[in-house]
Structure 1
């Protein structure tokens, strides 16, 4: 009997969307279990380390979005062609996490005065630095992040970039034609496109 998949996450794209895109790429049916923020305190107790997203496979819970995506990437043929490419994929995905963490540091700041103070350097320095580096890397690799072909790193980036744009308040891909083209390429894969066309509409 085929394994049963269930993704548990907030009713947003954010860190859950790369997983949803990879499951869709693999044509894997899955339960897209979404919950609202007021439900989280109750659910949190049953989540590994009190974190989400969580992917259940036949009732077994797995966590950490990058680790889940790495597993699915290997499963669906989107890993590197060799150990070096796998290292490059892991490195760039960890860099996406570094980038997201720096944006999140201001976005989720509760003190408005401190938030405003943090926001300027992130938008003026951090964002251009990372986006330029990402654009250069994709240009150098034939339209992809690693190896001149689509890997789970590309799917991961496409999955989170709308969330990152939401946090900074503007379209991060507006001045990045190579990255914008990569997003179109990933989202045009028929099984991914089918998911994008039917997924719930959310801000991030």
Structure 2
């Protein structure tokens, strides 16, 4: 078994998908965390000046999606066929596209922030959530692809845990399958155990 080291801020953020893959697979790894003010010390040793970084026997892999995808394929959480793998990548990518505007919202102020919130609530979120909702309604397994959990489910569940706070309450009734999906993934025994023991962080 390779030696794994995940290096990221002391936060859930973009490192959490990899941590959930490790948890679901039952694979041990070194969870290296650093505080915001320590980032300048770590940054020069990352491939692109970004975190997270995964080290596999000393070989570095950057980009949170690339990391989660690699681990999921190693541990059987990326789809059972090539078509399923492509679908998993598609839905995970869509979840990333959904979360990106919220970063701009978080960093904006005043009228610009209000403008971004309006666009997100009226255009971006409905477009993506409608597809997630219909997919989950059609796939009777309760997951996005196939008959079991994949890293796309971890990605959607994790990002939606933040996105729900950016949306009006009635969105939860419009997209009930998405809401239930999050609860379903969180309640998986190994994921629930990870959530219960992981460090408590603001993000």
After TM superposition, is the score higher than 0.5? yes
Instruction: Check 1:203–1:76 CA distance in 2 against 1; reply closer, same or farther (3 A cut).
Output: same
Work out whether residues 173 and 180 of structure 1, in 8 Å CA contact, stay in contact via their aligned partners in 2.
no
Instruction: Check 1:112–1:41 CA distance in 2 against 1; reply closer, same or farther (3 A cut).
Output: farther
Tell me, yes or no, if structure 1 residue 13 matches structure 2 residue 6: no
CA distance in 2, matches of 1:132, 1:141: 14
Can you give the 5+ residue segments of structure 2 that lack an aligned partner in the other structure? none
CA distance in 1, matches of 2:197, 2:28: 14
What is the TM-score when the length of structure 2 is the normalising length?
0.87
SS in 1 for 2:32: strand
Can you give the 5+ residue segments of structure 1 that lack an aligned partner in the other structure? none
Shift of 1:171: 7.2
Work out whether residues 14 and 162 of structure 1, in 8 Å CA contact, stay in contact via their aligned partners in 2.
no
Work out whether residues 17 and 159 of structure 1, in 8 Å CA contact, stay in contact via their aligned partners in 2.
yes
2:135 corresponds, among 130, 134, 137, to 137
* Greater RCO (Cα-Cα under 8 Å, separation 6 or more): 1
CA distance in 1, matches of 2:164, 2:117: 14
Shift of 1:113: 3.5
- Partner in structure 1 of residue 120 of structure 2: 122
SS in 1 for 2:48: helix
Q: Deviations over 1:117-146 (max 9, x none)?
A: 222211232223322221111111122111
- Partner in structure 2 of residue 81 of structure 1: 80
- Partner in structure 2 of residue 40 of structure 1: 39
Q: Deviations over 1:52-71 (max 9, x none)?
A: 11111222211111111111
Shift of 1:24: 0.7
RMSD: 2.2
What is the TM-score when the length of structure 1 is the normalising length?
0.87
Shift of 1:47: 1.1
Write the mapping of 1:30-109 to structure 2, written as runs, cut at 5 A: 30-109=29-108
Count how many residue pairs are aligned between Structure 1 and Structure 2.
Answer: 201
Work out whether residues 18 and 160 of structure 1, in 8 Å CA contact, stay in contact via their aligned partners in 2.
no
Q: Deviations over 1:55-97 (max 9, x none)?
A: 1122221111111111111122122222211111111111111
Tell me, yes or no, if structure 1 residue 184 matches structure 2 residue 179: no
